[in-house]
């Protein structure tokens, strides 16, 4: 939709959003459903959209967070969405692909990831290809400001959290510094960490995190609330912390096979946990191998699958490399994300072929659980 030399700015974003709303089949009575990513960018984006739409008089707006393993192009997800019988759909921070979601239902995708295409008939509001690249939360804040400006001012912290979560403390948007000043940088950071915990936990259910953002007045108010929801976030954070502590002990393995094409060595760290800590593992090891592509490889995240998350140095385009090497049988998420932060999920057999192709040996092969050899006996009991 946008040529790369154009820049997605607030004016364009609000024009796209206002046009989408103006075309809704039943105006402010339209049943609108929002499916958002479960992280601290997608969740604030969903909260901003719901709260501003309500404030603007759209009374029939609901939202949910993506569940573990889900994306917006799975038949199970489509079936669940269809059950709600929405008259309009917003798909937020979940990437964009050329395949239909709910055919015939007006759909707006708000996103900033490397696109694969746009579903037929859908509207795409993306900041991808513009520098700096606005997060989904910031795009949603621009949309909110178009229809409920006073509320958007009060909720600027939601945009700030999305910037902190996706782009870090140095995100080149004035909204971050401004919201830190208004709402407290420590409170914003602490809340960001808590919001990101449930989707990384073994259940991956971020419903509570979303609920908190649909109701909360500010980060400080939320953190002081002592509510069961806040305790649930703290428990998730402790669970993820434990999983990460053991995952970070795994040793790195190396391959130089694709150095010419990729411009970097590949480093794999293999872990085995139901928690979504493989992206964190890649991030933790990245400073140790600043010139390499680092993959956090999780063989225990989803039964029968291997999930991996890569982090690449600035001169490497990991999206392009992965799309060039997408194995047959991969789903449409392989090589999504950002140029320096991409990955995928593969059924075990396909993973084994893929990682051999990447130049790794038996240390990265996986076997179905039932075929795994018993653990070697300890020295003590050896004959
Ligand atoms: Mn995002």
Q: Domain with 88 in it: what CATH number?
A: 3.90.1640.30
Residue 72 neighbours by CB under 8 Å, 6+ apart: 35, 66, 91, 94, 95, 97, 101
CA of 278 to the centre of ligand 1 (A): 17
CA of 135 to the centre of ligand 1 (A): 6
- Domain extent, residue 310, equals 252-371
CA of 100 to the centre of ligand 1 (A): 21
Q: What is the pLDDT of residues 81-133, one digit of tens each?
A: 999 999 999 999 999 999 999 999 999 999 999 999 999 999 999 999 999 99
Residue 383 domain flag: no
CA of 42 to the centre of ligand 1 (A): 6
Do 177 and 266 sit in the same domain of this protein? no
3-state secondary structure of 29: helix
Do 180 and 326 sit in the same domain of this protein? no
Question: What is the structure's pLDDT at 226?
Answer: 87
Cα distance between residue 220 and residue 258, in whole Å: 48
Local confidence band at 3 (pLDDT 50, 70, 90 cut-offs): very low
In the chain, how many domains are there?
2
Do 197 and 321 sit in the same domain of this protein? no
CA of 72 to the centre of ligand 1 (A): 14
119 half-sphere exposure, CB direction, 13 A CA radius: 24
CA of 93 to the centre of ligand 1 (A): 5
The DSSP string of 309-344 is: EEE--TT--HHHHHHHTPPTT--TTTTEEETTEEEE
The CATH number covering residue 366 comes to 3.10.310.40
Do 301 and 179 sit in the same domain of this protein? no
Choosing from 182, 199, 234, the residue where a domain stops is 234
CA of 214 to the centre of ligand 1 (A): 18
Q: What is the pLDDT of residues 146-193, one digit of tens each?
A: 999 999 999 999 999 999 999 999 999 999 999 999 999 999 999 999
Cα distance between residue 62 and residue 357, in whole Å: 45
Do 222 and 275 sit in the same domain of this protein? no
CA of 167 to the centre of ligand 1 (A): 9
Cα dihedral 313, 198, 91, 340 in deg (nearest 10): 0
CA of 200 to the centre of ligand 1 (A): 15
Please give the mean pLDDT across all residues of the chain: 94
pTM for this model (two decimals): 0.90
């Amino acid at each position: 939709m946008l040529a790369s030399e154009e820049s997605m700015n607030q004016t364009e974003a609000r024009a796209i959003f206002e046009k989408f709303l103006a075309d809704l089949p039943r105006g402010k009575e339209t049943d609108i459903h929002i499916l958002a990513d479960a992280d601290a960018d997608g969740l604030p984006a969903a909260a901003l959209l719901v709260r501003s739409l309500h404030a603007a008089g759209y009374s029939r707006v609901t939202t949910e967070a993506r569940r573990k393993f889900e994306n917006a192009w799975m038949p199970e997800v489509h079936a669940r969405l269809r059950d709600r019988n929405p008259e309009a759909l917003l798909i937020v921070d979940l990437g964009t692909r050329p395949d239909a979601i709910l055919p015939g239902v007006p759909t707006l995708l708000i996103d900033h990831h490397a696109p694969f295409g746009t579903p037929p008939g859908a509207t795409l509001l993306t900041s991808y290809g513009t520098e700096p690249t606005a997060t989904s939360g910031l795009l949603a804040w621009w949309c909110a400001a178009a229809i409920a400006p006073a509320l958007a001012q009060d909720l600027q912290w939601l945009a700030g959290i999305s910037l902190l979560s996706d782009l870090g403390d140095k995100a080149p948007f004035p909204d971050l510094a401004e919201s830190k000043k208004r709402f407290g940088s420590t409170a914003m950071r602490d809340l960001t960490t808590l919001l990101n915990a449930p989707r990384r936990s073994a259940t991956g259910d971020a419903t509570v995190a979303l609920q908190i953002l649909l109701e909360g007045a500010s980060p400080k108010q939320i953190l002081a609330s002592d509510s069961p929801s806040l305790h649930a976030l703290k428990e998730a954070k402790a669970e993820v912390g434990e999983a990460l502590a053991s995952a970070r002990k795994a040793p790195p393995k190396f391959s130089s096979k694709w150095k010419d094409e990729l411009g970097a060595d590949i480093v794999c760290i293999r872990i085995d946990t139901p928690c979504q800590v493989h992206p964190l593992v890649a991030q933790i090891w990245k400073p140790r191998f600043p010139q390499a592509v680092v993959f956090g490889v999780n063989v225990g995240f989803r039964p029968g699958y291997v999930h991996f998350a890569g982090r690449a140095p600035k001169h490497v385009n990991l999206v392009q490399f992965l799309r060039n090497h997408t194995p047959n049988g991969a789903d449409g998420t392989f090589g999504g994300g950002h140029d320096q932060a991409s990955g995928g999920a593969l059924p075990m057999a396909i993973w084994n072929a893929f990682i051999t192709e990447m130049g790794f040996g038996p240390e990265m092969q996986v076997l179905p659980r039932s075929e795994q050899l018993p653990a070697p006996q300890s020295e003590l009991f050896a004959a």
